Structure 1
Amino acid sequence: MPADQPNVLVVMTDQQRYDTIAALGHDHVHTPNLDRLADRGVSCTNAYSSAPICVPARHNVRTGRDPVATGFLGNDKRSAEHLEAEHGAFLARAMGNRGYRTFGIGKFHAHPSGIDLGYDTRLTGDDYAAEPGADAAEDTGRLAAMNFLPQSCSLPPDDRRMSWIADEAVAEIERDTDDPFFGFVSFSKPHPAWNPSPPFDDYYDPDDMPEPIREDRDLDHVDEKIPAQNYHFWKSREDDTGESTIGIARAHYYGLVTQLDREIGRVLDAVEARDDAENTLICFVSDHGELLGDHHGWGKSSFFEESARVPFLVSWPERLPAGETYDGLVSLTDVFGIATTAAGDPDLRDGSDVLGALTGEAEPRERLFGAHETPRETSLFSLPHNLTCMVREGDWKYVYAVNGGREQLFDLDADPRETVDRADDEPEVVERCRRAAVQWLREHGATEYLDGDSLLEIPFEQLEMGRYHPGTYGPPDEASGEN
């Protein structure tokens, strides 16, 4: 390996929307440290989670394979121990094989709890579990209908688990060793419960929050997972959440983002204090976004921008320009290739050469694909599949649902809020994207979602996910507290 290998640090948050970095034109949120990170490198403004759900997004990053290849398309809690044998070394092990000291801190969302993810040092911490010295019911609020209600945490910021994650990350970054480091620092906020600590619980005025995108409910609920999730959390498929509740929920959500920004700043300070800071690559991403009342919905598991599009910052002062934006198509699948390419031994797997594209040495991605599905154990419907897939091509976004064979097409340039379905107006675009989706699924061996040379279509059945309660997704992982 090259003698001047950079340090590589991947920082991941959980359920953070793309529009939560002030420096990128979103001044409704205060993020001085993410702004600083954006100024340090390149902001990828068309970045997506290939499967906007926690578990598949994380397997996507650690394998560099598309979710339809790994078979993890929803939050099903099953063993991932077979993935390395089928797809190659996990990212941490791949970086260790390239001469790196490796550490992982925070949320991993991989099962079983003792699975070897390839880190030399692995410290698991998750805000789903009780805060240190606190009662989970009182201080994390992850209880039934309270999960999506705005609330406050009685613990001061320094006593929160997100602060502990930053503490441990700083300690690893400050270690003086001969080998370069590869670190994965994974925060489990701003995922619900939306419970910032003082003063962040009162940082934003609910009346100043951006108005939600709530126009055509029928168009929004073509994605049957949205009304199912609404009932799951709010006991209302139609989502009749009032404007006041939405505003307060948004204020608490952005309060968590700003509290989290404080911890990210401490990690960034530790990097910048190193002598080799200029030769340290930082990749900041989130696993997916959050509808937050947009499109008459809450949660993720949707290909609307607010759920599937994510913040994606890449900085490497020694090699990349500073303070620039890149509007090419990027996805979480690319993180594997970014890290291994920086290490001097590229392995793109299903990803594209993002570092090459950022320096003009590689062509931008022509199309980007995504797919997700509701796991069987949380679904009370009888269909064998309910895959939803996405194709991004230029300014077009095509979305297809196996359940009912429903499809939508949005022009993100003319209609960035995705309120006008253009599928009937643009049959050629629809057919081109449909063919591309068929080819992508076939190339990945996901033929169960095909009917010959066409996408599979099953008669529509309403999706039911039941009502959320603490045991909905099974008991917490005893070793990690993850759920």
Structure 2
Amino acid sequence: MMTSMRLRTAFLLSLFVLCFSFNHSVSAAARKPNVLFIAVDDLRPELGCYGASHIKSPHIDQLAASGLLFNHAYCQQAVCSPSRTSLMTGLRPDSTKVYDLDTHFRKTVPDVVTLTQQFMQHGYRAVGMGKIYHGSLNDKASWNAYPTVKGRGYQLPETLTAIRERTKGLDVKKMGWRQRSKLTRGPATEMADVPDQQYRDGAIAERAIKSLQELKQSQQPFFLAVGFLKPHLPFVAPKKYWDLYDRKEIKLADNRFQPKNAPSYANTNWGELRNYSDMPAKEDLTDEQQLQLRHGYYACVSFTDANIGKVLDELKRLELDENTIVILWGDHGWKLGEHNGWCKHTNFENDTRVPLIIRAPGMQAQGKTSEALVEFVDIYPTLCDLAGLPLPAHLEGTSFKPLLTNPQRPWKPAAFSQYPRGRVMGYSMKTDRYRYTEWQDRKSGKVMARELYDHQQDGAENENIAGKPDQKPVVKQLSAQLKKNWKGAVVPD
């Protein structure tokens, strides 16, 4: 009798364990993946994982080693708000009509469902912090929560005193962002021996860690967007990140001159750089000033890398990493003296090419690099595809989920960017070999100027060859391709 009861108990226990294991595995399989969405301001693809051995970026490099790195990813317009708007809406600038830092997309496409809204509508909790949309143009409808973050920019007392004197008696909070930012800018660089969290990006990392801990307690899948500000100007970072680099070993750009035969539309001024208190109003920078800026940019890249590492470490510590899609992107490229330019605001490769790394549960292409041409408008459909969400009809990009299985499979023949110059719009197309740009009158569509750069012969884009007689067939073919595929090139089966 006792033996029979023991056998029955053992059988029931085994059956319970089997049922629990089965239900647990079914639950795990049905569980939606989380998303950790890391945005970095003004980050160009000059990182260790992109072959830049002089840059200290161990945490981003580690992410690339466990994910898929895109070597030819491009933004839709090389300036903050249009770029971020295109990524978050899945629409190109011509569709959002957002070409500047003042226009909010809710005024032009008021009913568009943003990336995070799509996730929210399918059971996700969307939390954002730092800079996801541009500055004052955040979108409340895109978030369940957007916690404020402490920390500030400048730390040195002499800088803060000078800014206080400049703004004394003024109600800075009521000013437009352009006027406010100009009055509150100090030098273009700062090195302060302070803890990471005193600077804003360090505080953002701390808040992201806290948010992960809070989200861990919920059974609801999450979309956590973390937007780091550096290496955007001013280049301010704790001293220990400056100390990672020896100024004597930093090199200036090789091509500190305008591209030969480039139309005036192609080039730009220095953007916001001249507004900083230690930058010249008109004349060129000295070599020492250029080295200072490069040193500051590199220090900020390493500072952001460290903050990203802290967030990724916490994701792993909380055992969330195996069921979380991690995507890291920089909103556009940046010039560090190339073409005698600084900042962004052009259609050149330096400005439009961006870092993009993704890691997804169960992906096969871990530690691989893809040479496929991908665009920011592709990110929205890709994340939906990976999470098993339906794709809204308005999307103008293509999911690159297939590349996570086969990174070298045939893909889109071109990627597209654009930039306005008053009455003309520059439409730019990157193929596997060329960058071709047409500057078109925005009313008539008439082509006012053309650019053609052969990346097999001139990867730095130092000579525009569009006007050369022997390039006429190439220009004709690329012009037709630009017109045909502007809304998005077709992916081959």
Verify same fold: TM over 0.5. yes
Task: After TM superposition, give the deviation of residue 240 of structure 1 in Å.
Answer: 2.7
Cα distance per residue 1:253-291 (max 9 Å; x no partner) = 100000111100011112222334222111100111210
Residue 295 of structure 1: aligned partner: 339
Residues 308 and 147 (structure 1 numbering): CA distance in 2 closer, same or farther, change over 3 Å? Answer: farther
Letter in 1 for 2:190: Q
Letter in 2 for 1:315: R
Residue 294 of structure 2: aligned partner: 250
* Residue correspondence of structure 1 range 52-451 to structure 2 within 5 A: 52-75=78-101, 77-82=102-107, 85-86=110-111, 88-110=112-134, 115-125=139-149, 135=160, 149-153=188-192, 155-175=194-214, 176-214=217-255, 216-219=257-260, 222-224=263-265, 226-229=267-270, 233=274, 240-347=284-391, 349-360=395-406, 363-373=410-420, 383=422, 385-402=423-440, 405-423=448-466, 424=468, 425-440=470-485
SS in 2 for 1:152: strand
Task: After TM superposition, give the deviation of residue 223 of structure 1 in Å.
Answer: 5.0
Q: How many aligned residue pairs are there?
A: 429
Task: After TM superposition, give the deviation of residue 101 of structure 1 in Å.
Answer: 1.5
Q: Which runs of 5+ in 1 are unaligned?
A: 375-382, 445-483
In 2, Cα distance between equivalents of 1:132 and 1:150: 11
Task: After TM superposition, give the deviation of residue 125 of structure 1 in Å.
Answer: 4.9
SS in 2 for 1:72: coil
Residue 76 of structure 2: aligned partner: 50
Letter in 2 for 1:71: K
Residues 114 and 394 (structure 1 numbering): CA distance in 2 closer, same or farther, change over 3 Å? Answer: closer
Cα distance per residue 1:19-72 (max 9 Å; x no partner) = 1x2122101110110011111101000011110100001111110111111111
Asked if structure 1 preserves the Cα contact closer than 8 Å seen for 2:64 and 2:357, the reply is yes
Task: After TM superposition, give the deviation of residue 117 of structure 1 in Å.
Answer: 3.5
SS in 1 for 2:38: strand
SS in 1 for 2:142: coil
Residues 364 and 106 (structure 1 numbering): CA distance in 2 closer, same or farther, change over 3 Å? Answer: same
Cα distance per residue 1:129-160 (max 9 Å; x no partner) = 67799949669x96579777333246432211
Letter in 2 for 1:422: I
SS in 1 for 2:260: helix
Asked if structure 2 preserves the Cα contact closer than 8 Å seen for 1:170 and 1:267, the reply is yes
In 1, Cα distance between equivalents of 2:187 and 2:432: 34
Residues 230 and 165 (structure 1 numbering): CA distance in 2 closer, same or farther, change over 3 Å? Answer: closer
SS in 1 for 2:476: helix
In 2, Cα distance between equivalents of 1:334 and 1:191: 24
In 2, Cα distance between equivalents of 1:230 and 1:119: 31
In 1, Cα distance between equivalents of 2:340 and 2:281: 11
SS in 2 for 1:437: helix
In 1, Cα distance between equivalents of 2:412 and 2:259: 32
Task: After TM superposition, give the deviation of residue 174 of structure 1 in Å.
Answer: 2.2
Asked if structure 1 preserves the Cα contact closer than 8 Å seen for 2:425 and 2:439, the reply is yes
SS in 2 for 1:196: strand
Task: After TM superposition, give the deviation of residue 80 of structure 1 in Å.
Answer: 2.6
- Of 224-233 and 314-323, deviating more is 224-233
In 1, Cα distance between equivalents of 2:334 and 2:162: 23
Asked if structure 2 preserves the Cα contact closer than 8 Å seen for 1:16 and 1:311, the reply is yes
- Of 281-290 and 405-414, deviating more is 405-414
Structure ID, larger Rg: 2
Residue 9 of structure 2: aligned partner: none
In 2, Cα distance between equivalents of 1:321 and 1:207: 39
Task: After TM superposition, give the deviation of residue 74 of structure 1 in Å.
Answer: 2.4
Letter in 2 for 1:15: D
TM-score norm. by structure 2 comes to: 0.78
Of 44, 48, 58, 1:17 maps to 44
SS in 2 for 1:11: strand
In 2, Cα distance between equivalents of 1:222 and 1:209: 31
Residues 173 and 223 (structure 1 numbering): CA distance in 2 closer, same or farther, change over 3 Å? Answer: farther
Q: Give the fraction of aligned pairs with identical amino acids, expressed as a percent.
A: 23
Task: After TM superposition, give the deviation of residue 435 of structure 1 in Å.
Answer: 2.4
Asked if structure 1 preserves the Cα contact closer than 8 Å seen for 2:437 and 2:452, the reply is yes
Letter in 1 for 2:405: T
Asked if structure 2 preserves the Cα contact closer than 8 Å seen for 1:80 and 1:111, the reply is no
Residue 8 of structure 1: aligned partner: 35
* Residue correspondence of structure 1 range 444-463 to structure 2 within 5 A: none
In 1, Cα distance between equivalents of 2:438 and 2:152: 33
Residues 113 and 43 (structure 1 numbering): CA distance in 2 closer, same or farther, change over 3 Å? Answer: closer
Asked if structure 2 preserves the Cα contact closer than 8 Å seen for 1:103 and 1:183, the reply is yes
SS in 1 for 2:239: coil
Cα distance per residue 1:298-350 (max 9 Å; x no partner) = 11011222211111001114224211100101121112112111110242711
Structure with the bigger percentage of helix: 2
Letter in 1 for 2:55: V
Task: After TM superposition, give the deviation of residue 206 of structure 1 in Å.
Answer: 2.4
In 1, Cα distance between equivalents of 2:297 and 2:99: 26
TM-score norm. by structure 1 comes to: 0.80
In 2, Cα distance between equivalents of 1:156 and 1:220: 48
Residue 24 of structure 2: aligned partner: none
